[in-house]
Structure 1
Amino acid sequence: MAVTATVITSRTNPRVKQLRAAFTGSDRLSEGLIAIEGHHLLEEAIRSGITPKTIFLIERQKITIVPPATAEVLHLSSDVFASAVETRSPQGIAALIEPPAYSLENLLDRQISPLFVITAGLQDPGNLGTIVRSAEAFGATGVLTTPGTVSPWNQKALRASAGSIFRVPVVSATEEEIAALQTAHSLRLFAAVSAAHDEGVLSANATDLRQPCAILIGNEGAGLAPEWLAMSTARITIPCPGPVESLNAAIAASLLLYEASRQRSSAAPSATETIPGPLRRRPTGATR
């Protein structure tokens, strides 16, 4: 299909309504497509191999990239464009894309020693987007989101991911599915908690994160629910000398992913290396 250019001045145009529905998260009205806004996200999507279905431009707006030949390009009047997008100061470019789809089975086939982040009830989209970005930066296999976690396609999550969402597999998974991974794939679950949680908390930098494992990050306010703590292989924390009670969830996940990446890029542990006993001081982990 050749690239077309059509000027639209009606807010009730079907494509405009579809774009508006995608921004508000209505899967039915958007026909399952995701809305993205801005030159950077569009460039990242195309660079990641995603072909936009439709590209929307404010009339007379110049596009800085060459759109795929199959993409429909529509020009909207300024007021129509502003009525469809989410931001108060539109950048003048938006697009509808089909989100990439992954399955747990696909992810487990990708690496010998997978590394996941599991977000258990994470509700802040900025935190989730940042975690996805850090997952790409530190070579994680993917991010597993449990029921109660915000959608990774939330507009704030999209922006916080800075394009990583197009490349990092994000898969929704239930508690039962994650428990099955533990059994079938010997996946160890490390729950990020405060060291004050109990006496069994281990320091992250002294815990072997080279093995197939997942880092559990809990809700920003309540932390990890008891059922997740009961499922975990061990509870780990990030040593912090400062007198803070907890770290932001995205920061904690990023630091733990960095530690896993550091360990995995270093020499293999010696045969005599063991996980140390509980910490004696009071560093902090991640609950908020």
Structure 2
Amino acid sequence: MPFFEKNATVSVVSSRANGRVKQLRAAFAGQARLSEGMVAIEGDHLLDEALRSGMVLKTVFVSERREVPKSVPRGVEVLRLTDEVFASAVETRSPQGVAALMVPPVAAMDDVLRGTPLILIAAGLQDPGNLGTLVRSAEAFGATGVVVTPGTVSAWNQKALRASVGSVFRMPVVSATAEEIAGLKARGVRLLATVGFEDGETVAAQEMDFSTACALMIGNEGAGLAAEWMEMADARVTIPCPGPVESLNAAIAGSLLLYEASRQRSGR
């Protein structure tokens, strides 16, 4: 596949069977093998965020109705698609006319353990919007990383990616098994189970000490934290709610706890 300068004249691809178009379609569908490990992004904002965050772009796709964004570096492969072919490859109903294949960043557990770790653990989250929002909140409130367990939706899911508004490009997101998460305790990290109720063993958020190395475990939207995570926890934390609600949305609860941790740490 040839490489084009960003201001060069590019022939218009009119076949849905084009190899790069098929790769883009597979990436949007989360088919890692068919996309060769690439991640798809769509829209000017995510493209700008990816470039600002130092992501490596493989190919940029533009529809025939618009120009190549000036932010696209020289040397990046650019393909111009007919509007029909472009719409067939992306997910949104009203596409902005620009998309890209990029190399996703790879993070390891050591990346989330820098400084005094503040880690968010997504244990079985299924809603991609919740995960993306939590990744964004993690960056906003100074967390050192996000850890996802088996059964949790991918942070590169398109809805999660859009909900993170680009934070997933910069916030380390690491997949880990239960054994690896239990191993955090040996590295001085307290595991805090977030629950939606108060009992004799539960500490209110404003009374919990978040100033030392800790990890907040957020459970499944419907079932909460599974028994294995509750048993693993060093303490339970909840957000007192004076209103008549049983529990908070997972993303809201995690964001409030991250804010409280940030507040305590900034005043340390």
Gaps of at least 5 residues in structure 1 are: 268-288
Deviation at 1:107, TM superposition (A): 2.6
Deviation at 1:2, TM superposition (A): 4.7
1:272 is matched with which residue? none
Gaps of at least 5 residues in structure 2 are: none
Q: For this pair of structures, how many residues does the alignment match?
A: 263
Q: How does 1:153-164 map to 2 (within 5 A)?
A: 153-164=156-167
Q: Which amino acid aligns with 2:191?
A: L
Q: How does 1:212-223 map to 2 (within 5 A)?
A: 212-223=213-224
Q: How does 1:1-288 map to 2 (within 5 A)?
A: 2-3=4-5, 5-108=10-113, 110-111=114-115, 113-183=116-186, 185-196=187-198, 198-267=199-268
Give the whole-Å Cα distance in 2 for the aligned partners of 1:115 and 1:6: 49
Q: Which amino acid aligns with 1:115?
A: L
- SS for the counterpart of 1:28 is coil
1:139-196 deviations in Å (ceiling 9; x for gaps):
100000000000000000000000001000000011100111111x111011110224
- SS for the counterpart of 1:22 is helix
- SS for the counterpart of 1:27 is coil
Q: Which amino acid aligns with 2:216?
A: I
Give the whole-Å Cα distance in 1 for the aligned partners of 2:243 and 2:46: 37
Give the whole-Å Cα distance in 2 for the aligned partners of 1:42 and 1:255: 29
Deviation at 1:239, TM superposition (A): 1.4
TM, length-normalised to structure 2: 0.96
Identity %: 64
Give the whole-Å Cα distance in 1 for the aligned partners of 2:11 and 2:214: 50
Q: Where in structure 1 do 4 or more consecutive aligned residues deviate above 3 Å?
A: none
Give the whole-Å Cα distance in 1 for the aligned partners of 2:194 and 2:68: 44
Q: Which amino acid aligns with 1:140?
A: A
